[in-house]
Chains A and B, each alone.
Chain A
Amino acid sequence: MDITGTYRISARREVVWAALNDPETLARCIPGCKELDAKSPEEMAAKVALKIGPVSATFAGTVRFEDIVAPAGYTLVGQGNGGLAGFAKGRAVVRLTDEGTDTILTYDAKADLAGKIASLGSRLIQSTTRKLADQFFAKFAETLGIASAVSDQSETADAADQEAHST
């Protein structure tokens, strides 16, 4: 399952790109982020506390940048261990394009859960991922000093999933 979203940010692409690579900005924007320490320019250690409905868990894990093409985008790869609650991992391809003096940010995210949160939460993984992405980008736009980001989101089932249900 892919979850995609598009945001318009009223800032130049270089500014948005710099913010996307700044651990302090990311730490402020990642929902529930308690700690974010840069271990190298490409990798950070993160501690994230989330409360979604009946689940309240702190995930300790890493966030890594891959496929970096400055200032056009990168792939964010994250994984976290929520202790007894389970394990979460995800990757998001983030692309930046110019539109006048604005920047259009698109993401294409996949999330996987394992353990108890998977057995209890799989029916809500899409809503949850979208909610967290929304919170992140709303805060991101705010941090860049812009009043609002326009979001236009959609989700597409991947080919394998469609095939599974067309039979």
Chain B
Amino acid sequence: MKARTFSFRRVTSVEEALAAFASCEGEARFLAGGQSLLPALNLRLDAPDLLIDISRVEGMRGVSVSSSGLRIGALTRHVEVLRSPLVAEHASLLSRAAPFVAHPAIRNLGTIGGSLALADPAAEFPTCILALNASLEIAGANGIRTVRADDYFRALYETDIGPGELLTAILIPPPSHGQRVHFDELARRRGDYAIVGLAVNAVIHDSNVKEIRLAFSSVGPIPTRAKTAEAQLIGTFLGAEGIASAQAALANDLSPDGTDEVSSETRMHLARVLLGRSLNALLREDK
């Protein structure tokens, strides 16, 4: 199948992109890597009047580092996140998660901003930015604003980005001393939507958990932090006992949906399995 007829406009600046959206009388969509939008158009699940191609907007692609942390342009492709030495050094959670994002052909074109703007509940990068306590930079008619990842995800496929606004960058705070990260997910086949995924960002000194953020994918309409399990772990010695009580605490944090393929109970069980594996991996790394 082919997409329904639409107008196409390529822009080269954020201002031009916002103006094109504002002046469109029908439905407009921003096109970045096109790995979700173009299949939807070709399947005719969506039929906008105008596509605004932002892929050549200057200053929205690439990774840079400053004293305030890492800045990843929204147009940075998954493969660039995967291979970036700066990301590996300053936000290695993303480097670890990137191989789980779909397949190589999709990673070559898909962008981190596109993934975060779509906010699929099974996607990898949304959980990572939540675990990393990152901020998102959003451009709109009133200029640029930033929103914390904790406040960014609103509902199923709904983010803090308003109509006509554009996600321009992801800002990740510098790693703390003793930072340990881990990413893992369970899927039927590599590259499928995760049954459950987990991004862990912790600060651990001598096996003592100083800070920890646990962000799960696929357990609800938005990426979900397991705050009870986090509280259970903070200030404790990371060991078999602590891990078991954190796993038990997940019952307070998650109430995953069941589907025809995976029941709610199975998903909950797998979330506990994943948490146990991930915390044990941190424990091994700490030794």
Known: A56-B46, A116-B45. A124 touches B156 (CB 8 A): yes
Please list the residues of chain A having a beta carbon within 8 angstroms of any beta carbon in chain B: 1, 51-57, 83-85, 116-117, 120, 122-128, 130-131, 154-155, 157, 161-162, 164-165
A162 to B71, CA, bound (A): 46
Question: Is B263 an interface position by the 8 A CB rule?
Answer: yes
Nearest 10 A-B pairs (CB), nearest first? Answer: A53-B157, A54-B40, A165-B263, A126-B257, A127-B221, A56-B46, A84-B44, A55-B45, A127-B156, A157-B258
Closest to A121 in B: B45
CB distance from A32 to the nearest CB of B (A): 13
Q: Is the CB of A124 within 8 A of B263?
A: no
> In the complex, which range does the number of interface residues on chain B fall in?
20 to 34
CB atoms of A55 and B156 under 8 A apart: no
Residues of B within 8 A of A (CB): 1, 27, 36-37, 39-40, 43-48, 118-122, 155-157, 193, 220-221, 255, 257-266
Q: A84-B1, A123-B193, A157-B258 are in contact. List 4 more A-B contacts (CB 8 A).
A: A52-B156, A56-B48, A84-B45, A127-B220
Q: Using A85-B44, A85-B45, A131-B155 as known contacts, say yes or no to A53 and B120 having CB atoms under 8 A apart.
A: yes
Query: Which residues from B are CB-within-8-Å of A127?
Result: 121, 156, 220-221, 257
Inter-chain contacts of A1 with B (CB < 8 A)? 258-260
Nearest B residue to A84, CB-CB: B44
CB distance from B254 to the nearest CB of A (A): 13
By a CB distance below 8 angstroms, the chain A residues around B122 are 123
